[in-house]
Amino acid sequence: MSTDDIVDDLTRDTQNSPEELLTRSFFFVCAVLSIVTTVSIVVLLVTEAAKFFSITAPLMGIEGPTASIVDFLTGTTWEIGNRRFGVLALVSATLMITIGSAIIALPLGVATAIYLSEYAAPRHRAFLKPALEVLAGIPTVVYGFFALIYITPVIQTVLPGTGTFNLLSASIVVGIMIIPMVASISEDAMSAVPDDLRQAGYGMGATKFDVSTGIVVPAALSGIFSSFILALSRAIGETMAVTIAAGSQAQFLNPIDPTAYQEGALPMTAAMVQLLLGDITGGGLAYRSLFAIGLTLFVITLVMNVISDLIAQRYREEY
Amino acid sequence: MTDGHGQADDGIEPDGGEATTEDPSTEMAIQTDVSESVNDSDYTREAGTLVEARDVSVYYNDDRALNDITMDIPENRVTAMIGPSGCGKSTFLRCINRMNDMIDAARVEGDLLLRGKNVYDDDVDPVALRRRVGMVFQKPNPFPKSIYDNVAYGLEIQGADGDYDEIVEESLKRAALWDEVKDQLDESGLDLSGGQQQRLCIARAIAPDPEVILMDEPASALDPVATSKIEDLIDDLAEEYTVVIVTHNMQQAARISDKTAVFLTGGELVEFDDTDKIFENPDSERVEDYITGKFG
């Protein structure tokens, strides 16, 4: 082979061949598409919500009734008919369902993950983990009427005086719904803990319990926290089940009062469904409140995701 | 652990393997005596036997990995096990603390006695056994915890009494790591260098005061300087502990051990004798061939 041949061969520009350019553009368009969609939704939420508040509405060229942003963020009464838009009434219901479902799902999910990762024989795990993930595939509307038809009557037997629609039932069902998420992600994190560390523990005379709780769980902490935050974000954003189970009566409740969970309330997502199902007219104040709630919800989940990342970084262990 | 380690006093109890005295006060004096003979080229006195293997065979499914191993591991000595890859030396090491239990496919036959008690008896709790038989692994594997918590781990899981600070310091000193880490006990064990991590693992293994320390190629992942520190350390450890070490490195076995077992392919123990004899004048031709590098 002569030098010229070598030069020809070695100076091919494969990086910029037509196929490379085509595939590169294709993947770029796909990536951009999702970003554009996300950004558009956020822009839509912000602009429509801006038309809702009296402080920003003039900037958007809106005349007619508007709502005070201070009343929106601090008010505890949500009555659309009376133009009282206190989002805290909705936030309190969402918060209570989140707390209630967290109390159920976080311990159960982590315990399930420990069982699957540390105790279950491989053949049991091969069966149990997919079974658990099926739980996540059940349509949420099914969870909703499951709560209404089965969970609520049981609660009413145990705690007489509980309403047909109540936050406890909604919390339980959302809790059940997010267990697979906590369990599955936590289990992935625990399985990723190197076997060296378990061997070290067992070699020291640690019991299975010592190794699971003292070595594996701490080493997998960042993944476990991530699963918590993702699951709670899911609980906050959950719509169908809570719309069915929690009722439609907007009221502000004290999240740390256990008896308050026996009452029904209107979570943010359910309020949005209610607004959409009602005869709201495009461009009206009630219609715009939809976007204000949506933006609030978005900000809450965004903040949670940021916190999740920070926590995951803080507790990340390199092993 | 209240009964400590190394009570079967070679020289005092001729049948050492069976003997357990509860008096730790005689320990130090005896150990000083022992240390003089460690690595002594004129090593002749039989130490008491701590671990006795009787026809130990290990099967992985139907494949035999170890073939009728019978050997007596002396107390307060360094016993090395050498041999080519796949000869079963690590498998044998893991029989002593029953780490093979965790491999479903593994099956152990024969008797393995620690101070005369068969550790494979049905009534033996492997967790309790492993508290007496510590282990150091090939790859340094400190927990993702602070240096202090790594060393204190064994004490914590055993709910041991006593001043943990003191035990942690003492263990790190014995592991020749104290001077390097005394100002950073709260920092993660993973921030240490590989050689320091391995010494941390040794400190962790000795903190609960086991009787036996098993080492599975403890220096094979380390550089020569770190290796030499570990070797010095093993020498010191034999003053108080019985050390059983698997190594690929024949020079290492010759340098640090009192007794050497040569395993050859097929899971067979070909020769087990004083290290000097093995390296200078082995009985078996196969061992001689292996030692001199003719194969393996």
Nearest Cβ partner for A200 among B128, B132, B141:
B141
What digits encode the pLDDT tens for the residues A69-124? Answer: 999 999 899 988 888 899 999 999 999 999 999 999 999 999 999 999 999 988 99
pLDDT for residue B46: 46
* Strand, coil or helix: B133: strand
Residue B98 lies in a domain: no
Distance from CA of A220 to the nearest CA of B (A): 10
CB B244 within 8 A of CB B95: no
The predicted complex's ipTM stands at 0.79
Inter-chain contact B130–A197, Cβ cutoff 8 Å?
no
Inter-chain contact B141–A218, Cβ cutoff 8 Å?
no
Nearest Cβ partner for B157 among A197, A210, A318:
A210
Residue B282 lies in a domain: yes
Using the structure block, give the residue that is written with the tokens 């320091």.
Answer: B196
Inter-chain contact B130–A204, Cβ cutoff 8 Å?
yes
The arrangement of strands across the sheet holding B259-264 comes to: B117-118, B106-114, B49-60, B63-74, B268-274, B259-264, B78-82, B242-246, B212-216, B133-136
Neighbours of A153 (CB within 10 A): 13
Task: For residue B55, give the DSSP letter.
Answer: E
Rg (alpha carbons) of chain B, rounded to whole number: 18
Residue of B nearest to A122 (CA): B104
Distance CA B155, CA A192 (A): 27
Lowest mean pLDDT among A51-65, A128-142, A286-300, B192-206: A51-65
Residue ranges making up the domain that contains B80: 5-46+75-90+132-291
Q: List residues of A whose CB lies inside 8 A of any B CB.
A: 194, 196-197, 199-207, 210, 214-215, 218-219, 317-319
The CATH number of residue B137's host domain is 3.40.50.300
Distance from CA of A309 to the nearest CA of B (A): 20
Neighbours of B12 (CB within 10 A): 13
Chain A residues touching residue B142 (CB < 8 angstroms): 200
- Minimal CA–CA distance to B249: which of B268, B230, B266, B272? B230
Residue B30 lies in a domain: yes
Tokens of B254: 């010759």
- Number of Cβ pairs < 8 A linking chain A and chain B: 69
Residue B152 lies in a domain: yes
Residue B116 lies in a domain: no
Residue B112 lies in a domain: no
Inter-chain contact A317–B102, Cβ cutoff 8 Å?
no
The predicted model scores a pTM of 0.80
pLDDT for residue B47: 54
Using the structure block, give the residue that is written with the tokens 């003292």.
Answer: A214
Q: What is the mean pLDDT of chain B?
A: 83
Chain A residues touching residue B215 (CB < 8 angstroms): none
What digits encode the pLDDT tens for the residues A206-239? Answer: 999 999 999 999 999 888 998 999 999 999 999 9
Distance from CA of B198 to the nearest CA of A (A): 12
Say if domain A78-315 classifies as CATH 1.10.3720.10.
yes
What digits encode the pLDDT tens for the residues B224-260? Answer: 888 998 999 998 899 899 999 999 888 999 999 999 9
Distance from CA of B153 to the nearest CA of A (A): 8
- One DSSP character per residue, B162-190 reads S-HHHHHHHHHHHTT-HHHHTT-TTSBGG
Number of independent structural domains in chain B: 1
Residue B105 lies in a domain: no
Inter-chain contact A318–B134, Cβ cutoff 8 Å?
no
Residue B57 lies in a domain: no
